[in-house]
């Protein structure tokens, strides 16, 4: 049986997930209330049908794939719709939030009588030739979500409650995005000190694998930095009992906040990073 799935959000990840599900035979709707014309166009190009929020009650699954700072408000927006719906879809929160935040999302949804799944996405958006990303899923209803593996999703079930999947996501993102922010900050510091070429030469000699990773990851970060601010704040809350670790990720959030502002402005810091990476002028726009 072909499931009906509603995806909330049509960013790069949401649209790509919708495309993969549609290509594997699922009927996919996309809730686009308040979203831009670009989001609507992206949803249509991915094979999703733009739909009003009220259509969520007609789906078997509702997948929330939005910026982390919107996760709770979005669940609260859909809760009244799901509460009066005769059909009770399984709501899957796929956002980069900490276990405490996902508990608030779950509470809003579970009051409606709908099932809830905590999911964390690790990896880039689905594309041809790439089986990922991996959806880590936890909670009593995660096994229901696992059925979407038949429709192209790579799903890893965790033996844990709601919050376990978010904990895996927070831990992983804290490492990968934390390292990216640390590298960017040190590249900018070296550039201000006039030692960027020396630092790159040393990395090339002593840490070639790490430098190659930075060469790939940092340019992909520029346009996403604004989204990663809230994600780093979520990670800071996740490690909150460790005051030193909290300070690290609070600082990381501010690094991404600064880079996001620069990216939206004159791109002076972005240009310095591009120069460090040895990328040609104009490559930022080409990579967007």
On whether the CB atoms of residues 69 and 37 are closer than 8 A, the answer is no
Helix axes 268-277, 208-221, angle to 10 degrees: 150
Indicate whether 233 and 157 sit together in one domain.
no
Indicate whether 230 and 143 sit together in one domain.
no
Report pTM.
0.91
- DSSP type of residue 3: P
On whether the CB atoms of residues 239 and 249 are closer than 8 A, the answer is yes
Domain boundary among 122, 141, 161: 161
Indicate whether 176 and 205 sit together in one domain.
yes
Domain boundary among 109, 131, 161: 161
Indicate whether 85 and 190 sit together in one domain.
no
Reading the chain (288 residues) residue by residue, the pLDDT tens digits are 789 999 998 888 999 999 999 999 999 999 877 667 777 788 888 889 889 999 999 999 999 999 999 999 999 999 999 999 999 999 999 999 999 999 999 999 999 999 999 999 999 999 999 999 999 999 999 999 999 999 999 999 999 999 999 999 999 999 999 999 999 999 999 999 999 999 999 999 999 999 999 999 999 999 999 999 999 999 999 999 999 999 999 999 999 999 999 999 999 999 999 999 997 545 555 444
Indicate whether 147 and 170 sit together in one domain.
no
Domain boundary among 161, 194, 226: 161
66 lies in which domain range?
A: 4-161
Q: List Cβ neighbours of 234 (8 Å cut-off, separation of 6 or more).
A: 68, 96, 97, 98, 101, 170
Q: How many domains does the chain have?
A: 2
Indicate whether 144 and 233 sit together in one domain.
no
Indicate whether 203 and 250 sit together in one domain.
yes
On whether the CB atoms of residues 225 and 260 are closer than 8 A, the answer is yes
Indicate whether 85 and 41 sit together in one domain.
yes
Indicate whether 123 and 201 sit together in one domain.
no
Q: Looking at 9-70, list the stretches that DSSP marks H as alpha helix, in order from N- to C-terminal side.
A: 12-23, 37-45
Query: What CATH number is given to the structural domain containing 102?
Result: 3.40.50.720
pLDDT for the residue numbered 287: 45
CA–CA dist 34, 66 (Å, integer): 13
Query: What CATH number is given to the structural domain containing 181?
Result: 1.10.1040
Indicate whether 195 and 275 sit together in one domain.
yes
Q: List Cβ neighbours of 137 (8 Å cut-off, separation of 6 or more).
A: 92, 117, 118, 119, 145, 146, 155, 156, 157, 158, 165
Indicate whether 60 and 170 sit together in one domain.
no
Indicate whether 35 and 114 sit together in one domain.
yes
Burial readout 234-255 (b: 16 or more C-beta within 10 A, e: otherwise): bbbbbbeeeeeebebbbebbeb
pLDDT for the residue numbered 163: 98
């Amino acid at each position: 049986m072909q499931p009906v799935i509603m995806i909330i959000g049509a960013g790069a990840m949401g649209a790509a997930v919708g495309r993969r599900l549609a290509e594997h035979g699922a009927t996919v709707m996309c809730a686009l209330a308040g979203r831009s014309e670009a989001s609507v166009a992206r949803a249509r190009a991915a094979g999703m049908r733009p739909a009003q929020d009220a259509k969520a009650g007609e789906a078997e699954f509702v997948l929330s794939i939005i910026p982390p700072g919107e996760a709770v408000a979005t669940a609260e927006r859909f809760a009244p719709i799901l509460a009066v719906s005769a059909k009770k879809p399984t709501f899957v929160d796929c956002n980069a939030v900490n276990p405490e935040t996902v508990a608030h999302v779950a509470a809003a949804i579970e009051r409606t009588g709908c099932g809830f799944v905590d999911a964390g996405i690790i990896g880039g958006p689905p594309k041809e030739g790439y089986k990922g990303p991996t959806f880590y899923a936890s909670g009593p209803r995660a096994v229901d979500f696992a059925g979407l593996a038949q429709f192209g999703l790579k799903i890893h079930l965790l033996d844990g409650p709601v919050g376990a999947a978010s904990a895996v996501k927070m831990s992983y993102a804290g490492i990968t995005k934390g390292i990216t922010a640390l590298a960017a900050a040190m590249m900018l510091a070296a550039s201000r000190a006039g030692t960027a070429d020396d630092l790159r030469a040393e990395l090339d000699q002593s840490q070639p694998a790490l430098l190659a990773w930075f060469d790939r990851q940092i340019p992909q970060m520029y346009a996403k930095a604004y989204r990663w601010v809230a994600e780093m704040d979520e990670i800071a809350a996740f490690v909150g009992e460790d005051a030193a670790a909290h300070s690290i990720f609070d600082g990381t959030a501010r690094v991404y906040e600064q880079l996001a502002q620069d990216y939206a402005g004159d791109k002076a810091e972005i240009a310095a990073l591009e120069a460090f990476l040895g990328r040609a002028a104009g490559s930022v726009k080409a990579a967007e």
